[in-house]
Amino acid sequence: MKIEENYSLEKHNTFHLPVKTRWFMEYSSEEELCNILRDEYFQESHSLHIGGGSNLLFITDFNGIILHSAIRGISVCEETEESMVIRAGAAELWDNVVCYAVENGWGGIENLSYIPGETGGAAIQNIGAYGVEIKDCIEKIETYNQLTREKQIFSREACEYGYRYSYFKNEHHDPHIVTYVYLRLTKKPRFALDYGHLATRLQDYPEITLSTVRDAVIRIRKEKLPKPEVLGNAGSFFTNPVISREQFEKIRNSYPQIPSYPAGDARVKVPAGWLIEQCGFKGKTHGPVGIYEKQALVIVNLGNATGDEIALVAKSIRMAVSEQFGIDLVSEVKYVG
Ligand code: EPU
């Protein structure tokens, strides 16, 4: 177990904000986690469990306890004729899991290559990219319920997955700490190549395999998205809004080129990046905060930005999009403080 006081979170948030936490507690086993949770001081303190910090915006220092898992490792749990179930510790880097699956020839998550963050956070957030969401491969999730102090298993259905949503994101539910994620992967790949230019990009390769799909996705991501290690960011700052077909048609009358994707039940998903670009933000800088020049949905820390400064830019984007399109953007990034 690692316990630190007045600890810098700079390496624990991909915006690289040099905020501090009063306490940082990292556990390496479920037993250590139980010990922390049982402690009276912990019970009286304000606490927050974080993963890789790839989806967090710290507005202020954290006057409480930041909990972090160090439960890593990937193992095989089950094998059938057609599939494999693997188990990954919540703190395992997500891209290590994808790499492990691809190297073993097991399919399902190759489109989710090169997404920053840890596996527990990936499952809570229902990460998605290039037409695939992690929920498509989730077999079950193992958690530790902070209220009942019991281990719990959630089937995929019980996780109530939706677009960038799961049961664990609802603050009215019992607080669960995800300890292990189980993924069912296919032995025979079923490629999902319909999204954007993934199929086009794959024409550069002699054949389509799990490895070439992974390689193509990594290349597209490297071209389009800033590397958090180089330029602090948290990927898409907002989710893509889902609006009624009626509202969409109204907007399309004035903007015939608006891109869209069907979202079921007479609803339409619109790329937030496009809306933000239309409002003139793409590539602009506001002091130490920038809107990435190749993807307007990504807000970047150009140097010494504070959480407040980033939040201010996000607010002006939200206001401009609301004024111009009547659409309220929702943050994918979680504000802390
Ligand atoms: N677009 C613009 N201008 C921009 C950005 C996008 O016009 O500056 C339009 C283009 O029409 C483009 C469309 O938006 O074709 C979609 O853009 P992109 O393929 O880059 O995807 P996205 O909808 O902006 C989503 C996810 C990403 C994921 C990509 C690829 C959300 C909030 N974001 O972005 O996820 O990598 O699709 O599948 O759903 C993340 O969540 O952090 C993330 C990076």
Q: Mind listing the pLDDT tens digit for each residue in 31-42?
A: 999 999 999 999
Tell me the C-alpha to C-alpha distance, in Å, between residue 228 and each of 53, 163, 240, 307.
11, 23, 21, 16
Q: What is the DSSP letter of 100?
A: H
Q: Could you report the per-residue pLDDT of 87-115, keeping only the tens digit for each?
A: 999 999 999 999 999 999 999 999 999 99
pLDDT at 264: 87
Ligand 1 centroid distance, CA of 273 (Å):
6
Q: Does ligand 1 lie within 6 Å of residue 122's CB atom?
A: no
Q: Report the nearest-CA residue for atom 25 of ligand 1.
A: 129
Q: Could you report the per-residue pLDDT of 237-274, keeping only the tens digit for each?
A: 999 999 999 999 999 999 999 999 999 889 999 999 99
Ligand 1 centroid distance, CA of 61 (Å):
31
CB-CB contact of 119 with 183 (8 Å)? no
Question: Which stretches of 94-206 are assigned E, i.e. beta strand?
Answer: 128-129, 132-133, 138-145, 150-155, 176-186
Distance (Å, rounded) from C-alpha 241 to C-alpha 322?
12
Distance (Å, rounded) from C-alpha 295 to C-alpha 240?
13
Helices (H), the chain: 30-38, 40-44, 94-104, 119-125, 198-202, 210-224, 245-254, 272-278, 307-325
Residue 91: CA count within 13 A, CB half-sphere: 14
**What number does the ligand 1 atom closest to the CA of 131 have?**
38
Ligand 1 centroid distance, CA of 284 (Å):
18
Q: Could you report the per-residue pLDDT of 6-16, keeping only the tens digit for each?
A: 999 999 999 99
Q: Does ligand 1 lie within 6 Å of residue 130's CB atom?
A: yes
pLDDT at 196: 81
Distance (Å, rounded) from C-alpha 197 to C-alpha 224?
12
Span 158-185, average pLDDT: 96
Q: Which of 57, 227, 236 to mutate to test the pocket of ligand 1 (most atoms within 8 A of CB)?
A: 236
pLDDT at 163: 95
Ligand 1 centroid distance, CA of 9 (Å):
28
Q: Is 332 a catalytic residue?
A: yes
Q: Does ligand 1 lie within 6 Å of residue 283's CB atom?
A: no
Where do we find the tokens 């994808």? 98
Ligand 1 centroid distance, CA of 274 (Å):
8
**What number does the ligand 1 atom closest to the CA of 195 have?**
38
Query: If you average pLDDT over every residue of the chain, what do you get?
Result: 97
1 falls in which pLDDT band (50, 70, 90)?
very high
pLDDT at 311: 98
Task: List the catalytic residue out of 69, 87, 236, 318.
Answer: 236
Distance (Å, rounded) from C-alpha 227 to C-alpha 261?
27
**What number does the ligand 1 atom closest to the CA of 111 have?**
38
Span 131-157, average pLDDT: 96
Express as a percent the part of the chain with pLDDT over 70. Answer: 100
Ligand 1 centroid distance, CA of 326 (Å):
20
Q: Which of 14, 274, 276, 332 to mutate to test the pocket of ligand 1 (most atoms within 8 A of CB)?
A: 274
Distance (Å, rounded) from C-alpha 116 to C-alpha 208?
24
Q: What is the DSSP letter of 162?
A: B
Q: Is 236 a catalytic residue?
A: yes
**What number does the ligand 1 atom closest to the CA of 238 have?**
32
Q: Does ligand 1 lie within 6 Å of residue 269's CB atom?
A: no
Q: Could you report the per-residue pLDDT of 267-294, keeping only the tens digit for each?
A: 999 999 999 999 999 999 999 999 999 9
CB-CB contact of 194 with 131 (8 Å)? yes
pLDDT at 197: 85
Task: List the catalytic residue out of 156, 164, 219, 252.
Answer: 164
Q: Is 164 a catalytic residue?
A: yes
Q: What is the pTM of this model?
A: 0.96
